[in-house]
Structure 1
Amino acid sequence: MQSLQDHFLLAMPSLDDSFFNRSLIYICEHNDQGAMGLVVNIPVNLSLKSLLEQVEMEQSAAINDSVDMEQIVFQGGPIAQERGFVLHSPKEGFNSSLSLNKQLMVTTSKDVLQTLGTFDQPEHYIVALGYSGWEAGQLEQEIIDNAWLTLPASADLIFKEPVHKRWESAAQLLGVDVWQLSSQVGHA
């Protein structure tokens, strides 16, 4: 199977895992070692302002009053939920960033948090706690088992689509109505 890096995983309606039900996952990394991604459509009961207060983060630049600090934080996945990940539009200068494509980067260092709410922040971003991970071959088997649909990722869907519409909107990009999908899998 080719790499699914920079793709979405769209949970099939039949996936009844309590953590991944109706989830949309952005795949940050996928290789022969396994895969890592962030859920981009399931919020936790925590605002960005509350998160920054909890980690006692002080902004290093002038506060931008036009930034909504009440925006939601996402559950990135069930692994390492104490760790934060910021999926954002390109902006250089953070200690631990990985460029994913021309429109997206992921940063795991705290220095990105110091810019949030200031004029120095990335233009677009979401904050996620934890990540989703698969061992070598595990994700491929889940796809064969009809747990996920895959499609190329869209930064607009992550940053501009309302959270509650992202799962269905991703399915529409495939040209399918998720509610018409069968949980039965066939092999020729």
Structure 2
Amino acid sequence: MAFSKLTDPTMAGSERGDRERGFLDGQFLIAMPGMFDQNFARTVIYVCAHSPAGAMGFILNRRQSITFPDILLHLDMIDQHDAIMLPQKTREFPIQTGGPVETGRGFVLHSDDYLSESSIPVSEDICLTATLDIVRAISAGGGPRRATMLLGYAGWAGGQLEAEIANNGWLHCPASEDLIFDPKLDDKYERALALMGISPGMLSNEAGHA
């Protein structure tokens, strides 16, 4: 498992705030029933970056069997005794499957009350950090007010995501911060659709955009 400075080309310029932004920046993608790729069936994705170079985002409703203490042990940040002594809130810090790309790499999506030199703003209120400093802060009981760790991410080449939307693969709508950080995953797909006033039974007749 790796944590390092984010170098994805779709995020280029984010540290300076001058990254070229696409119309899907800060949007939810909601998979349509006809989604052919099982990696994304019934998923809700938060798009962190969208530009002519491509797109990057994170699945928000897929569980991960690894726990936060497992990650701390894997990174040699604590030993077994320390893991047992961690506060319940720290032990239960949410870990999710972010996508099928670089599944051994960790990212923390979080509120903007925590910032390090490597934190990248992805919206007015949400940042992305992929370095160990935030893991240390969380393990010490600090860190951001709202956060979730994601292993792997979803990525698209230039024009690929636009083509999938045109082919009725995705709905999209403005993201909800509450839904991004809500640890209840089982009905997050339905609740994301509800943001658009849509129920699952209506999807077969819906177009691929909001």
How does the TM-score come out when normalised to structure 1?
Answer: 0.88
Residue in structure 1 matched with residue 14 of structure 2 by the alignment: none
Q: Aligned ranges for residues 162-177 of structure 1 at < 5 Å? A: 162-177=184-199
Equivalent pair of 1:26/1:38 in contact (CA under 8 Å) = yes
- Corresponding residue to 2:31 among 11, 27, 39: 11
Q: Aligned ranges for residues 1-188 of structure 1 at < 5 Å? A: 2-58=22-78, 65=87, 67-160=89-182, 162-182=184-204
Equivalent pair of 1:11/1:23 in contact (CA under 8 Å) = yes
Q: 1:97-138 deviations in whole A, cap 9, x for unaligned?
A: 111223211111111111113332111111001111001100
1:94, distance to aligned residue in structure 2 (A): 1.9
Aligned amino acid, residue 115 of structure 1: A
Q: Secondary structure at the match of 2:69?
A: helix
Aligned amino acid, residue 38 of structure 2: S
Equivalent pair of 1:78/1:132 in contact (CA under 8 Å) = yes
Q: How many residues align?
A: 182
Q: Distance in 2 between matches of 1:174 and 1:158?
A: 16
Deviates more, 1:136-145 or 1:118-127: 118-127
Q: Secondary structure at the match of 1:132?
A: strand
Higher helix share: 2
* Residues 86/2 of structure 1: CA separation in 2 closer, same or farther (3 Å cut): closer
* Residues 161/129 of structure 1: CA separation in 2 closer, same or farther (3 Å cut): closer
1:16, distance to aligned residue in structure 2 (A): 3.8
Higher strand share: 1
Equivalent pair of 1:94/1:109 in contact (CA under 8 Å) = no
Deviates more, 1:105-114 or 1:10-19: 10-19
1:66, distance to aligned residue in structure 2 (A): 5.3
Equivalent pair of 1:64/1:118 in contact (CA under 8 Å) = no
Report sequence identity in percent.
35
Gaps of 5+ in 1: none
Q: Distance in 2 between matches of 1:150 and 1:34?
A: 16
Q: 1:59-106 deviations in whole A, cap 9, x for unaligned?
A: xxxx98352413441111111111111000113442321112232111
* CA RMSD, Structure 1 to Structure 2 (Å): 2.2
1:45, distance to aligned residue in structure 2 (A): 1.1
